[in-house]
């Protein structure tokens, strides 16, 4: 099955995650998008986010989204490992399960691949990369990096709609600290009802 692997914190999952995944699926003509949530300690310690919802909370919210989106699949592979695996390891594990994956990621992560990622050449050549262009001109930025330019034959760039560029999981987490005051904002950016959110949290 041809898939896109969408790895990330999903802390929490937002409308932007869901709609951009759907857009990428339509433009790449693949069969499904696999959402692969990271381990909570990795989000807090390595990515230095202000806090992480628990793995069970993030999974429950993803599964709630999945109910209305049959093209969504969820993998708990990363959560089941002793330590947070590298993306290349996760891609290989899903390949063994029969998925022909390309890696789906945002422009911020793509442009940091040379400095913060391992096995980038292997990821690009063995699986392919789909980059969601949200706030950057990726092609222009790539011209400043011979490393990224060498990846071009293996990269597909998808332009995100303008509305998605203003949705941030970091901002959502701030609003969650006072759900009553920010009810309207949360309703606009979450892909499920506040009743579902409150049930999970």
Instruction: Say if residues 164 and 19 touch (Cβ distance below 8 Å).
Output: yes
pLDDT higher than threshold 90 for residue 136: no
Closest of 41, 58, 13, 71 to residue 191, by C-alpha: 13
DSSP 160: P
Instruction: Say if residues 16 and 164 touch (Cβ distance below 8 Å).
Output: yes
The domain total for the chain is 1
CATH number reported for the structural domain that contains residue 22 in this entry: 3.40.50.620
Q: What does the pLDDT read at residue 46?
A: 64
Instruction: Say if residues 44 and 52 touch (Cβ distance below 8 Å).
Output: yes
Closest of 184, 188, 113 to residue 148, by C-alpha: 113
Instruction: Say if residues 78 and 37 touch (Cβ distance below 8 Å).
Output: yes
pLDDT higher than threshold 70 for residue 48: no
Instruction: Say if residues 187 and 194 touch (Cβ distance below 8 Å).
Output: yes
Per-residue model confidence as pLDDT tens digits over 16-38: 999 999 999 999 999 999 999 99
Domain range for 112? 2-200
pTM score: 0.95
What mean pLDDT comes out for the span 56-84?
A: 97
Per-residue model confidence as pLDDT tens digits over 165-180: 899 999 999 999 999 9
């Amino acid at each position: 099955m041809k898939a896109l692997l969408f790895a990330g914190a999903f802390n929490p999952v937002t409308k932007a995650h869901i709609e951009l995944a759907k857009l990428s699926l339509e433009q790449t003509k693949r069969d499904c998008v696999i959402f692969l949530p990271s381990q909570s300690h990795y989000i807090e310690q390595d990515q230095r986010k202000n806090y992480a919802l628990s793995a069970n909370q993030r999974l429950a919210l993803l599964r709630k989204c999945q109910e209305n989106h049959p093209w969504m699949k969820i993998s708990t592979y990363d959560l089941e490992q002793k330590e947070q695996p590298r993306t290349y390891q996760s891609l290989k594990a899903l390949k063994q399960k029969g998925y022909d994956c390309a890696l789906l990621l945002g422009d911020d992560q793509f442009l940091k691949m040379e400095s913060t990622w391992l096995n980038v050449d292997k990821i690009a050549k063995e699986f392919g990369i789909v980059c969601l262009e949200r706030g950057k001109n990726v092609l222009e930025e790539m011209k400043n990096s011979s490393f990224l330019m060498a990846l071009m034959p293996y990269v597909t760039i998808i332009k995100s709609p303008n509305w998605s560029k203003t949705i941030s999981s970091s901002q959502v987490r701030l609003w969650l600290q006072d759900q009553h005051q920010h009810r309207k904002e949360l309703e606009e950016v979450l892909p499920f009802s506040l009743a579902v959110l409150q049930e999970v949290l």
